[in-house]
Amino acid sequence: MLKIGRRSFVQSAMASIAGVSAASLPISAVRAQELPKPELSPEILKRARAAFARHDKRIWQRETMAIADFSAPSRIPRFHMLNMISGETTPLLVAHGKGSDPGHSGWVQHFSNVPGSEATSAGSYIAGESYVGQHGLSRRLIGLDPENDQAENRAIVIHAAWYVDPSLAAERGKIGRSQGCFAFSKDDIGQVLWRLGPGSLLYADKA
């Protein structure tokens, strides 16, 4: 189900958290309801929970776990923020890397951990500190597994991008590609950065 937090992270280094009413939901959250229904793969969910248990000592923010299910095409909200208490998820659009989809089909063809590949890496990540970069307020990621342990060296982060937008998904049947980062719409980046704070787990994979 689609669930929007009652507060949102304002996109600025001097951001403040304020209440959100139904009438002021982000446009992308409203439009997401018009996109194909997002469904988290049971197999990916199982692997994500196993990763949560495996990296238990590294995780100190346990309210939310993020799961990027790259079994789905980019036109579908496939980044699931799972509330570990209620079990409810918030599905959002997320881009994958150019190197994982050279032909820009909208589907992840393969993963890579190689520097310069511009590909998405599978595996478990711990969310790091936020910073302000070329894409505005962003968050660093630390790869915990052999298949993504170059994440910091590759500057794989969470950031906003113009090419992640529900209108693009609807019109073209896909969104744009990143250089391997987890890129979100400008309307959604706030809640991603707020809910997926330092010490949270992000798991990425495909069935």
What is the per-residue pLDDT for 34?
A: 54
- Alpha helices for the chain (secondary structure H): 27-32, 42-54, 166-172, 189-195
Would you say residue 78 lies in a domain? Answer: yes
What is the per-residue pLDDT for 9?
A: 32
Would you say residue 2 lies in a domain? Answer: no
Q: What is the DSSP string of 43-71?
A: HHHHHHHHHHHHTGGG----SEEEEEETT
Query: Which of 148, 101, 105, 100 has the alpha carbon at shortest distance from 126?
Result: 148
What is the per-residue pLDDT for 38?
A: 81
What is the per-residue pLDDT for 35?
A: 55
What is the per-residue pLDDT for 23?
A: 32
Low-confidence ranges of the chain (pLDDT < 50): 1-33
Question: Is this model's pTM higher than 0.85 or not?
Answer: no
CATH number of the domain that residue 36 is part of = 2.40.440.10
What is the per-residue pLDDT for 11?
A: 36
Number of separate domains in the chain? 1
Domain range for residue 127?
7-205
What is the per-residue pLDDT for 25?
A: 36
Would you say residue 1 lies in a domain? Answer: no
Would you say residue 70 lies in a domain? Answer: yes
